[in-house]
């Protein structure tokens, strides 16, 4: 027997096989609860065990607007699947299983084959919709990525937002196209052979339009987070709160055919229950996979450097499949020339990058001066496919006061070198939208709140939050519509130089990783790293089936002399300094060891043994 919460959505308004609306709401402290249909009578609900309210009715049909009346006060439905008039307006009923799926032959990819591409729906295209993304899927296929990662799509205030201010976890953002358009996008991705990862936020709920506390104890003052009181995962009433978020996760996987979830900032989830909410979520996802035969992954953002989060359940871990590795990013950026300020102060050029290649975490038990404590564990037994690495992402770009991408901070050659460093790693590479052709527009922080006091608080908060990085620069107004439009990708750049060359460069790099076993392997143990701190050079040896590939990296602004560490004859597989990639030019002839190689400034040369 499949658990009802596994087989179908049970919370909120859902439609049964007879077409009747089954309504199931948790409002534990209420004396009366009803559904108020727009231009209709109230439908009373009956109180059930543990504070739930329930009824079955034929008065509420798909596509109708309604509100929930709690002791005489009406609110939008926190379980709503659609908010056509925004976060303060009436909710609308949706029949989730009306979509006609045609992806029955789709099988999720093995995690080690994920080549991720993070995008923000509102700024990815001029349309700013799921349909707009659909029109660009051939571009992503041509690039060679295998999985798109959507920033959060749960309903947020207004039409412009990163998505982390979502307040209706079950509703799909109306300005993006709503639930049906998201289902259509996922269906199309699967037909193109692309997996879909969805970013979800279970560590906080946005400030505007947050009606959860009107329903029950969704928050607890036992713990504080950067967003205020923590979500109640272990205090009185937590069982139903946990159910709320677990049902949400299962809905995306089951009813929207999402392949993997990326869980935002799980270090901010406060839970001292005997069974952590992430562990319970993993168990429920496992049950779903058993029931459907589909494969799903849970990928987390976590800055604790604690491998227990990604250890399997049978090893007393929380069972998450993978995590973002920000420390790889920090080490790479400092190596590329980023100033050691803010959270970069704990990272050193070259040596920190070597630590990340070898240990995933840079801090895996050493003393951290920034944190003033010994920090991190060594994930020695965790596989390379459990770490997602990148040279930029929405946070690392957008949390700069001016939202500069790498294209505005580094030379063309350094951009190519940083991209290659990510793609040759034994981890899962992720690109941020537009990076593949050196998009020059910034990616800024933007919102469209309706509360003037909240808008002003956001403005002041943005200026203060990253003061350590910027000195005297003017912040872009997050509320201004221009800030949002300035963050959109400029697709016409792809037809121009040097953007076209950069795109071809990324294509070639990704193709090389996908076709060369040593570079495509996520075996962290078949890896050797050497470096020269003075020259700012690094040699990374990737191995597979007794065959080795030698990646020679030069992060300095000058030519450097290096040697291949073994005897033999070698041929270049890839050279970022090649004329083909608008580089300074370099020899592509076979190489005999015993003589030094000259690496061009800010370049990578990849060699393989020539038999």
Catalytic residues: 264, 301
CA distance 443 to 150: 15
Closest CA to 319 of 299, 290, 292: 299
Alpha helices, DSSP H, located in 449-536: 452-465, 481-486, 499-515, 517-520
Give how far Cα 88 sits from Cα of 71, 74, 209, Å. Answer: 18, 11, 6
Determine the length of the chain.
611
Q: Decide: 321 and 386 in contact? Cβ < 8 Å.
A: yes
Q: Decide: 334 and 344 in contact? Cβ < 8 Å.
A: yes
CA distance 360 to 215: 42
Cβ burial of 51 (10 Å; 0-12, 13-18, 19+) is middle
For residues 394, 395, 398, 401, the Cα torsion angle rounded to the nearest 10 degrees is: -170
Residues paired with 149 in a beta bridge = 118, 197
CA distance 507 to 501: 10
Closest CA to 50 of 28, 81, 83: 28
Three-state helix/strand/coil letters over 102-119 = CCCCCCCCCHHHCCEEEE
Could you tell me which residues come within 8 angstroms of residue 506 by beta carbon, excluding any fewer than 6 positions away? 143, 144, 419, 431, 435, 436, 437
């Amino acid at each position: 027997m499949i658990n009802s919460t596994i087989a179908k959505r049970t919370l909120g308004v859902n439609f049964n096989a007879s077409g009747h609306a089954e309504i199931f709401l948790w409002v534990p402290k209420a004396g009366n609860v009803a559904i108020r249909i727009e231009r209709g009578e109230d439908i009373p609900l009956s109180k059930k065990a543990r504070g739930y309210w329930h009824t079955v009715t034929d008065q509420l049909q798909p596509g109708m607007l309604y509100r929930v009346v709690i002791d005489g006060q009406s609110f939008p439905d926190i379980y709503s699947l659609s908010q056509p008039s925004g976060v303060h307006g009436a909710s609308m009923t949706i029949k989730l299983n009306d979509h006609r799926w045609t992806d029955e032959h789709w099988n999720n990819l093995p995690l080690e084959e994920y080549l991720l591409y993070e995008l923000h729906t509102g700024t990815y295209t001029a349309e700013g919709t799921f349909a707009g993304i659909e029109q660009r899927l051939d571009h992503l296929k041509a690039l060679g990525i295998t999985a798109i990662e959507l920033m959060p799509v749960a309903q947020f205030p207004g039409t412009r937002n990163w998505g982390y201010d979502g307040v209706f976890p079950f509703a799909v953002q109306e300005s993006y196209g709503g639930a049906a358009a998201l289902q259509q996008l996922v269906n199309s991705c699967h037909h193109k052979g692309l997996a879909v990862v969805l970013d979800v936020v279970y560590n906080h709920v946005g400030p505007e339009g947050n009606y959860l506390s009107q329903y029950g104890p969704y928050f607890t003052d036992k713990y504080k987070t950067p967003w205020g009181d923590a979500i109640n995962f272990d205090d009185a009433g937590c069982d139903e709160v946990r159910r709320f978020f677990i049902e949400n996760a299962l809905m995306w996987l089951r009813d929207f055919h999402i392949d993997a979830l990326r869980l935002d900032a799980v270090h901010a989830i406060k839970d001292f229950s005997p069974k952590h909410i992430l562990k319970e979520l993993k168990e429920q996802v496992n049950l779903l996979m058993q029931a459907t035969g589909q494969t799903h992954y849970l990928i987390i953002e976590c800055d604790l450097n604690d491998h227990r989060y990604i250890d399997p359940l049978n090893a007393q871990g929380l069972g998450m499949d993978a995590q973002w590795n920000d420390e790889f990013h920090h080490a790479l950026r400092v190596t590329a020339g980023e100033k050691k300020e803010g959270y970069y102060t704990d990272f050193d050029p070259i040596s920190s990058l070597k630590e990340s290649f070898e240990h995933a975490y840079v801090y895996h038990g050493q003393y951290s001066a920034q944190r003033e404590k010994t920090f991190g564990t060594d994930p020695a037994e965790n596989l390379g496919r459990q770490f997602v690495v990148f040279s930029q992402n929405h946070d690392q770009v957008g949390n700069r006061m001016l939202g500069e991408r790498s294209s505005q901070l580094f030379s063309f050659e350094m951009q190519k070198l940083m991209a290659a460093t990510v793609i040759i790693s034994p981890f899962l590479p992720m690109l941020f939208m537009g990076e593949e052709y050196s998009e020059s527009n910034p990616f800024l922080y933007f919102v469209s709140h309706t509360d003037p006091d909240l808008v002003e608080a956001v403005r002041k908060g943005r200026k203060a939050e990253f003061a350590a990085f910027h000195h005297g620069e003017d912040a872009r107004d997050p509320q201004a519509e221009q800030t949002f439009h300035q963050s959109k990708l400029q697709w016409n750049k792809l037809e121009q130089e040097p953007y076209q060359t950069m795109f071809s460069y990324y294509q070639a790099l990704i193709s090389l990783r996908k076709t060369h076993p040593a570079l495509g392997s996520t075996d962290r143990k078949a890896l050797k790293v050497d470096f020269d701190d003075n020259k700012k050079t690094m040699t990374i040896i990737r191995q597979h089936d007794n065959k080795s590939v030698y990646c020679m990296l030069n992060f300095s602004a000058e030519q450097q002399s290096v040697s291949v560490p073994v005897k033999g004859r070698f041929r270049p597989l890839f050279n970022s300094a090649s004329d083909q990639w608008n580089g300074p030019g370099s020899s592509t002839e076979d190489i005999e060891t015993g003589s030094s190689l000259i690496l061009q400034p800010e370049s990578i040369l990849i060699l393989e043994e020539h038999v």
